[in-house]
Amino acid sequence: MIPAQLFCWHFMAYPHLPADFDEKYDSGWVTVPNELWDSEKSKGLYQEYIDQLALADRLGFDGVVLNEHHQNVYGLAPSPNLIAAALTQVTSHGKIVVLGNLLPLHMNPLRVAEEYAMLDMMSGGRIIAGFAPGGGPETFNYDIPSAPSREKFWEALDLIVRAWTEDGPFIHEGRHYPLRYVNPWPQPLQKPHPPIWVPGSRSPGTLIECAKRGYCYFLSSRSHGAATGQAREQFTKVLEDHGRKYHPLRMGILLSAYVGTDDQTAREECQEGVWYFLKNLLKGHLRTEGRQLTFGPGVPYIPTKAWRQYLETSKPGRKLLGDAENWEELDRSNSILVGGPDTVFERLKNLVDNSQVGNLLIQFHLGNMPNDLTCASMERFATQVAPRLRAYSAKLFAQRFPHMEDELARAEAAQ
Amino acid sequence: MTGRVIEAAGRDVALFEAGDGAPLVYLHGFADLHGVAADPFPFHQALARDRHLYAPAHPGCAESAEYGDLSTVEDAVYHYLEVLDALEIDRFDLVGHCMGGWIAAELAVRHPRRVASLTLIGASGLFVTGAPIGDVFMMAQPERGIDYAGLRRMLFQGGDTKLARALFPDGRADLDDEMRRYQMLRFASFIGFKPPYFYNRSLVNRLHRVTCPALVIWGAEDRMVPRAHGEAYADGLKGSNGLEIIAGAGHAAHLEEPEKVAGLIGDFLS
């Protein structure tokens, strides 16, 4: 039986913002003045974060997750591959998921193929290769035109997979990345290539392209209401259209958790980090206050027809995750699960029940959360939540997706 | 004034026409016919006073088809050559605003003999050191999810006038207007984002090839394309008699002061 896969995601937030940041600054993204960066205070910060991920590996998480962001206070890993390289040396069991390299920001996709191949060799075949086209902030940060970015993304990703699976040198006659000699050394250890994950926010284009190629679809939403289950239904349908069958490890979701000894102390311990995260780090991203850059008419990557559908079904100015004003509102968004081990288990159990998604990517470090609290929460999760969740989900998946085990075994045998 | 959809090189192109006389081609910007509104403004009516006005919508805008091969301003110029052929227009007066002005200038430097006169209103297209073109994409992301004051301020001198608010209201506008805005931003993102950012560094050195009479009109308070760009156009175009500044107007000078701008163009064309 195959349980839900539990990953520890670290966003590597900037924790030293002034107390009046929200009052004084419009955004935590793109235009947030970098005079706020304090090198002295930040000495050892990357080491602290890497140590937390190494701890996750020792605690038996199925993997650790990194991602790429630029010019912001939300995530200090503009080059997640550098962190992944460090992690290959201090972890030994779990996967290292880079979710993902933002392809349109790279001049040449070959560089990404090469770096992932290096990481796969350095980690003994533990890399999960994530790829993303980049969202609104990246458009502004790296001057990436939105409209053609999806087309560029899929050309780059298909080229990388060819570079990993076809003998070189060969000529790539692509529109955006024409190359005369595609012949990367080294090649990845995993065959035919490392697992590929692609994030999306339910846009039909991404669902279809992932289904065609059999890639894992990572739903990038941080909140999990009815839409999460709907995304899984959509993906199930699209997979069927392409001759594939859904099972829970074909999809991943992102959530955050804080596990305390009980509900009351959990809230007390994490509240500073949680509200720092919501009010400061999500400002400009998942908060309406200020100017939200992630999605909208100024980053017109969505095809015209799909934009009309979006307008028809959405309300302007609707509340986003970072607009939550109190714990009750926050709890309703099913984004940050806070409580004692029983509460967090129950809420995760419901989430797995409702979503039937098997890759759970969980953020433990929130905002300016101190190291000791972060580590203690991860330890409680690993010892008091994870075992129950694994047992529960394995049974559930075996019942609902009887084909899953065979299919994954076949995939393994093919390697 | 009538609208129709024509075919040029196999692509649908939405087109407004009005008036009789020698052909005048108008290429639109953001705050403009096709860019945000379905109907022509008084300014466009005035252009048709003694000309046959042709006002096509850019690829992907209004009912014009989007097409995948469009990625540079050069592609837009060749698109318009196809449109001109479809309309059987050989020589014409050319007027453009904002991005439409950029495309008009690029067309004129390549085919100077076909352009009888060139009028630019708040045209992008040039690179001017120290005077960057405003970030319309960032301003198109509303504040608090609903507030387009930043966009209005970029496009109009009086950011909160009745006209600015009618065209770019807060919250959700009429769905079709929202779509036109989005389509225009998408078109801009295809050809105007990178490289370069609404400019072509080579254009300034080609302007001398335009020998026809030229008129360069700028809103005194243009916060999208700084006045320095108007001065550079007026300097570079041989047929220009200097920059015409419209007091009390911003980037969308032709909508804010339609009589003054149309009057200048009318005098220039006669």
pTM of the model: 0.95
Please determine, for residue A382, whether its predicted confidence score (pLDDT) is greater than 90. yes
For residue B11, the SS3 value is strand
Domain hosting residue B99, numbered range: 2-269
Residue A129 bridge partners (DSSP): A98, A196
Size of interface A-B (CB pairs under 8 A): 94
- Sheet containing B11-18: which strands, arranged edge to edge? B2-8, B11-18, B51-56, B22-27, B92-97, B115-121, B214-219, B240-246
Per-chain mean pLDDT for chain A: 96
Task: Please count the structural domains in chain A.
Answer: 1
Contacts of A107 (CB under 8 A, 6+ apart): none
Please determine, for residue B192, whether its predicted confidence score (pLDDT) is greater than 90. no
Residue % of chain B over a pLDDT of 90:
94
Residues of A in contact with B199 (CB under 8 A): none
- In contact, B160 and B154? CB cutoff 8 Å: no
Please determine, for residue A317, whether its predicted confidence score (pLDDT) is greater than 90. no
pLDDT digits (tens, 9 = 90+) for A195-222: 999 999 888 899 999 999 999 999 999 9
Please determine, for residue B221, whether its predicted confidence score (pLDDT) is greater than 80. yes
Please determine, for residue B195, whether its predicted confidence score (pLDDT) is greater than 70. no
Contacts of A12 (CB under 8 A, 6+ apart): A45, A46, A49, A66, A75, A76, A77, A83
| CATH number (domain holding residue A142) | 3.20.20.30
The two tokens of residue A13 are: 């937030």
Q: Phi, psi (5° rounding) for residue B19?
A: 75, 175
> Which residue reads 């008009």 in tokens?
B104
Q: pLDDT class for A29, splitting at 50, 70, 90?
A: very high
Could you tell me if B71 lies within 8 Å of chain A, comparing CB atoms? yes
The pLDDT of residue B1: 60
Domain hosting residue A18, numbered range: 5-414
- In contact, B239 and B27? CB cutoff 8 Å: no
Compute the nearest-CA separation of B250 from chain A (Å). 21
The pLDDT of residue A81: 98
pLDDT digits (tens, 9 = 90+) for A344-371: 999 999 999 999 999 999 999 999 999 9
Distance of CA B78 to the CA centre of its chain: 17
Cβ-defined contact of A317 to B150 (cutoff 8 Å): no
The two tokens of residue B268 are: 């220039």
The pLDDT of residue B175: 94
Instruction: Give me the helices (H) in A123-262, please.
Output: 136-141, 149-165, 204-213, 226-241
The ipTM, to two decimals, is 0.93
Instruction: Give me the helices (H) in A221-359, please.
Output: 226-241, 263-276, 304-313, 327-332, 341-355
In whole angstroms, give the CA distance from residue A127 to residue A129: 6
When pLDDT is averaged across residues A321-328 and rounded to a whole number, the result is: 96
Compute the nearest-CA separation of B269 from chain A (Å). 37
Preferred mutation among B63, B66, B71, B141 to probe A, highest tally of A CBs within 10 A: B141
Task: Please count the structural domains in chain B.
Answer: 1
Q: pLDDT class for B2, splitting at 50, 70, 90?
A: confident
Q: Which residue of A has its CA nearest to B151?
A: A298
